[in-house]
Structure 1
Amino acid sequence: AFLNGRLDLSQAQSVMDIIKARTDASLRMAAGHLQGKFSDEIKAMRHDILEVIAHLEASIDFPEDDIEAVAKDEASAKVTNIKNRIEEMLSTFNTGRILRDGLVTAIIGKPNVGKSSLLNTLLREDRAIVTDIPGTTRDSLEEYANIGGVPLKIIDTAGIRETEDKVEQIGVEKSMSYVQKADLILALFDTSSDLTKEDEEIINLLQGKEGIVLLTKNDLSCVLDIEDLKQRLQGNFKYMQISTFNNDGIKELEQEIVNRVYSGTVKQAEGIFVNNVRQANALKEAQKYLEDCLNTIEMDMAEDFIVIDIRSAWEKLGEITGDTVDEDIIDQIFSQFCIGK
C-alpha cells in the first residue's frame, strides 16, 4: 500500500500501532494516524513552505519587479507560523509516546507496605501474591493497566531492604534501577507505623526525584509523622492517602495519573499526536531549519540563502510522510512488521 501510494509512511506505521494498542485512547490515536489526520497536518505545512519557496524564487528570477522586500516579509510571517505549529505538535510527543508504548510506572516501597495490593487494585485482578509476610515479592512483576485510557506499564518491585536471600537481593537491586528509568514513581509509605530503616533507604533513593508519594493503609490509625516525611524527602512529589482495603483514594490517584500524562493537551485530539521518536526528531530538525531561516532573513541575506534553509525544512517534514525518506529508513521501519511465522 505504501509503495503504491495508497498510504503514506505515517499511516503505514499506524497499522502496527493499531495492532499493539492497549487502550481506547491508544487506539484512537493510531486510528487517527491511519485516517491521515496527522499526515494532513504535515502536508499542510509542507504546502505552506512550498508557497514561501515559490515567492522567494520569484523574487530571485524577476529582480526588476521589486518584490524582494515583500517576499521576505511574507516569508518571515509564514515561517514563524509554521514553526509555531511544529512547536504545538512537539508538545504532544510525551503524551503520544505514552499512549503508544505505555507509562513506565515503578511502585517503590519497603516490604509489606502494600505494593502488590496496589498493583492488583490498578489491574482489577489478583496478579501479585499478597500476604502479611515481608518479602513475598522477590522479583519485579510487569503488567499493563488501563487507567482512564492511559496504558500504564506497572512494575511491582521487590521491597527494598537488607536481606541474605540472594534472589531477593537481585530483586532489590532491580527495584533501585527502576527508580532511575521510570516515567512515574509511586513511592509507598505505611501510615500505620513510624518510619523504619527501610523507609530511610527509600527516602535517600528518591532524593531530588519527582512522582507521587502514596500514604498507604489509610483505613488504619495514622502513626506516621507525615510532615516529618515531607521534610526529609526533598523533590517534586505529590502526597496522596490511599487504602487498597476499601479503595479509598484510588480514583483520585487514577485521575492524577491521567492529568499528568495529558498535562494540558486536548484528549480529543489524539489523532494528531506525535507518537514516535522518528517523527519527533524530524519535526525538531525541521524546526531548527526554520529558525535558521528566520535568522537569515533578520540578517538581510540574499533570498538564495533563505531558500536553502526552508527547503531543508520541507524535506525533513517529507521524511515523516515518506515523500523524501531514504530507502534504508523505509526498510528499517517495515522490518518491525511481523509478516508470518
Structure 2
Amino acid sequence: MERIHESKEDGFIECKPIASIVTPLGEGGIGKVIVSGPDALSVVNKVFQGKGIDDLRKAMSYKLYYGYIFDGGQRIDEVIVNIAKKGDSFTGEDVVEVNCHGGIRVLMRIHECLQFAGAKGAAWDALLLQSYENNKMDFIRKEALLEVVRARTRFGVKVLLDQNAGALSEALKKGLEIIEKIRQALHKGSSRHETIPYTEQHKGEGKSPLIPPCKNGISNIPPLKKWCKGGFSDETSVLISALSEHIESLLETASLGMALTSPQVLVILGKPNVGKSTIINTILGEERMIVHHEPGTTRDYVSELISIEGIPFELVDTAGMRDTSDKLEALSIELTLEQVHRSDKVIAVFDNSRPFDQEDEGILNTLNSWLKTGNFDNLSQKGDMKAIIPVINKCDLPTKLNRLRIESALQQSACCISAVNSNEFEELHRRLTEEFDTVYKPMKPILFNRRQYLLMTQADILIKQDAECLIAKGGTSKALQIINELKDIFTSCLKGH
C-alpha cells in the first residue's frame, strides 16, 4: 500500500491525513472514524463544533471532547472526539478518533465530510501501514493485528493479541541475540586456531555426507548436541545448541498458530445412512443438517465453522460414498472426493449395526489414496494416519461390523459413539485437538502463518545440516557465512522482507 501524497503549489510534497471507518458497517450503537496524519486536527476541526473547546488544534492528548459534526450548516451527528498527538498515538501521527452513532448512513456521511475537509479516504489497514512505517510496530505485530480482526474464537484472539503485544517478536529478537553471540564466539575461536579453508563435500548438495539424509526437510536429522564435541569452544557449541532448541520450540507452536488463523478443513466421510449428518447436528448442538432414514439424503456438501477447545474447524458434511447409476448422486460423490482432497483431517464414519461391506472397503481405499496424493504441509499430523479418525456410529445397536478390519487398515483404534444419544463425543473431541497444545501461557510466542513457519523451517534445516561445519575447528569462513544466512532468515521473519 502506497503512502498518500499531495503536491502543493510551492513544490513541496505533503502527506495527506487519512480517514478510515474502523467499525463494521451495519446497525450498531457506536461507530468510529479515525483520522491520522499531518493536519489531522485541522481537518477534523473544520467539521467539529465542541463544547468547551473552540479549536481542536489546541486539544490535549488522551482527552475526550464532546460536540457535533456539521456539514456546512447542517448538524450531522452528536459525537465524542478522542485526541492522540503524534508522539502518543499508535500510528506515530496525530490521530483523531470520531466516535458517533453506529448507523451506516451516519458513518458514511461523517466519512464523506472528513474527506471534503481534506482527508483521504482509506481502508482501516492503512492505519497499520502508518504505524509500521513510523516504527510503532514491527511486521510480525502488524500481521497479528490483521489476524485478530479475522479470528474465529476467543482463544485465537487471546493468542494473537499476545503476538501483537510482542511475544513472537521478542522471541525472534532473542534468536538474533544468540546468533550474534555465536558470531563473537567464532571470531574468538578463530584467533586461537589456525583457520583451515572449508571445502564442501557433495558440493551440489551443500551438506556433509556425515549427516543422515532428511525426510520431509528435517525429521531425520539427529539432535544438534550429538555434533557439539571438540569445536571452537564449549561456548560455541552451547550457543549453537541453544539456537537450535530455540528454533525447534518455535516450530512446535506452528500447528496451533496456523490452525487458529487458517481453520483446518474437517471432512466427514462414510457410506450413505451411517449417520454423518446426525453426528454434525450433535457437534453443532442443533439440527442444521437434514436427517432421513432413506440413504442418499445429503446430495451436496455443507460446511459449518465449529470450535473445539478454542480451535476452529471448517466441518464439512458430504454425500454418502457408494457405487450408483444415479447421475445426480454420482455428481454429489464427485464433490465429496473434491472436499476430501482439500481436507486436513477426515472423520471416517462406519455403521456398527451393519456388516463390513464393499462400500466400507471403498471408503478405506479412498482414505489410502488421500494419504498418498494429498497436498500436505510439513506440520505434525497432516498426511499421516492420525489425520484420519475412524468413528463407529450406532454403538447403541447390536454389533454386526468387523471393527478390527477397520482399525487394522487405519492403524489406530476407533471412537465408538451413538450420535443419536449424544454419547462418547469426548474422545472424538480429544482426537481432533490432540496435536495442539491448548494449555496456553500468556505471552507465549506462537508462529501463526505459513510465511513465518517456512522461514523457521529453513533456519532449522540450515543449522542442522551444517552442524558439522559450525562446530568444526576449521572452516571459520563457511561457519560465518551460515551465521549470516541465519541472521537474514530471522531478520526477514521479523521485518517481513
Structure 1 pair 55–193 and aligned structure 2 pair: CA distance change class (3 A): closer
Alignment partner for residue 175 of structure 2, among 26, 31, 45? 45
Deviation at 1:36, TM superposition (A): 0.8
Secondary structure in 2 matching 1:128: coil
Cα-to-partner distance string for 1:47-84 (whole Å, 9 max, x where unaligned): 12112223434666xx4x88999965422320121111
Structure 1: where are the runs of 5+ without partners?
327-341
Q: Residue in 1 aligned with 2:396? A: 219
Choose the corresponding residue for 1:261, options 418, 430, 436.
436
Which position in structure 2 is the counterpart of 1:204?
Answer: 365
| 1:280-320 per-position Cα deviation (integer Å, ceiling 9, x unaligned) | 11112223333365322444224333222112101110111
TM-score with structure 2 setting the length: 0.59
> Contact (CA 8 Å) 1:107, 1:185: kept in 2 or not?
yes
* Paired residues of 1:292 and 1:309 also in contact (CA < 8 A): no
- CA contact 2:144–2:160 (8 Å) conserved in 1: yes
Query: What percentage of residue pairs aligned between the two structures are identical?
Result: 27
Among 26, 29, 46, the alignment partner of 2:156 is 26
Specify whether residues 223 and 79 from structure 1 end up closer, same or farther in structure 2 by C-alpha distance, changes over 3 A only. Answer: same
Match 2:305 to one of 138, 144, 148 = 144
1:224-244 residue CA offsets vs partner (Å, 9 max, x unmatched)? 23234445xx12333011112
Alpha carbons 1:52, 1:75 under 8 Å: kept = yes
Q: String of CA shifts for 1:209-261, please: whole Å, max 9, x gaps.
A: 52221111123232323234445xx1233301111211011122112222243
The letter for the 2-side match of 1:21 is: A
Map of 2:288 onto structure 1: 127
Residue 136 of structure 1 aligns to a residue in which SS?
coil
Amino acid at match of 2:244: K
Within the alignment, does 1:300 sit opposite 2:473 as a pair?
yes
Residue aligning to 2:119: none
1:315 partnered with 2:481: no
Return closer, same or farther for 1:247/1:106 CA change in 2, 3 Å cut-off.
same
C-alpha distance in structure 2 between counterparts of 1:127 and 1:216, whole Å? 19
2:365, 2:466 → 1: CA distance? 48
Pairwise CA distance, 1:25: 2.4
Alignment pair present for 1:4 and 2:179: no
1:168 paired to 2:329 = yes
Distance 2:253 2:289 in 1: 34
1:193 aligned onto 2:348: no
Is the alpha carbon distance of 1:291 and 1:236 closer, same or farther for their aligned partners in structure 2, counting shifts above 3 Å? same
**What's the Cα RMSD here?**
2.6
1:101 and 2:262 correspond: yes
One-letter amino acid of the counterpart of residue 179, structure 2: I
1:280 to 431, 434, 453: 453
Instruction: From the superposition, tell whether residues 219 and 70 of structure 1 become closer, same or farther in structure 2 (CA, over 3 Å).
Output: closer
Per mean C-alpha deviation after superposition, the further-off stretch among 302-311 and 86-95 is 302-311
SS in structure 2 opposite 1:193?
A: coil
SS in 2 for 1:245: helix
Q: Which residue of 2 aligns with 1:339?
A: none
- 8 A Cα contact 1:38 1:273, kept in partner: yes
State the distance in 2 between where 1:270 and 1:97 align.
17
With over 3 angstroms needed to count, the CA separation of the structure-2 counterparts of 1:71 and 1:242, relative to structure 1, is: same
CA contact (8 A) 1:76 1:294 kept: no
Q: Tell me if structure 2 keeps the 8 A contact 1:217–1:242.
A: yes
CA distance in structure 2 between the partners assigned to 1:296 and 1:285 by the alignment: 17
What amino acid is aligned across from residue 160 of structure 1 in structure 2?
M
Taking structure 1 as the reference length, the TM-score comes to: 0.84
Query: What is the distance in 1 between the residues matched to 2:272 and 2:231?
Result: 70
Confirm or deny: 8 A CA contact 2:194 2:474 kept in the other structure: no
Secondary structure of 2:325 counterpart = coil
Relative distance call for 1:290 and 1:44 in structure 2 (3 A) is same
Q: CA deviation at 1:186?
A: 0.7
Matched residue SS, 1:238: coil
* Aligned residue among 411, 416, 419 for 1:236: 411
- Asked if 1 retains the 8 angstrom alpha-carbon contact of 2:407 and 2:413, the reply is no
User: Deviation per CA, 1:174-204, whole angstroms, max 9, x where unpaired?
Assistant: 3234334422211111112223432232133
Alignment length (residue pairs): 317
Change (3 A) 1:306 1:15: same
Instruction: Tell me which protein shows more strand as a share of its residues.
Output: 2
Measure how far apart 1:207 and its partner are: 3.8
Cα gap change, 1:77 to 1:142, in 2 (>3 Å): same
- Contact kept in structure 1, 2:265 and 2:316, CA below 8 Å: yes
How far residue 2 of structure 1 moved from its aligned partner, in angstroms, is 1.2
More helix by share: 1
Could you tell me how far apart the structure 2 residues matched to 1:58 and 1:4 are? Answer: 38
**Shift of the alpha carbon at 1:11?**
0.8
Residue 37 of structure 1: how far off its partner (Å): 0.7
How far, CA to CA, are the matches of 2:307 and 2:443 in structure 1? 16
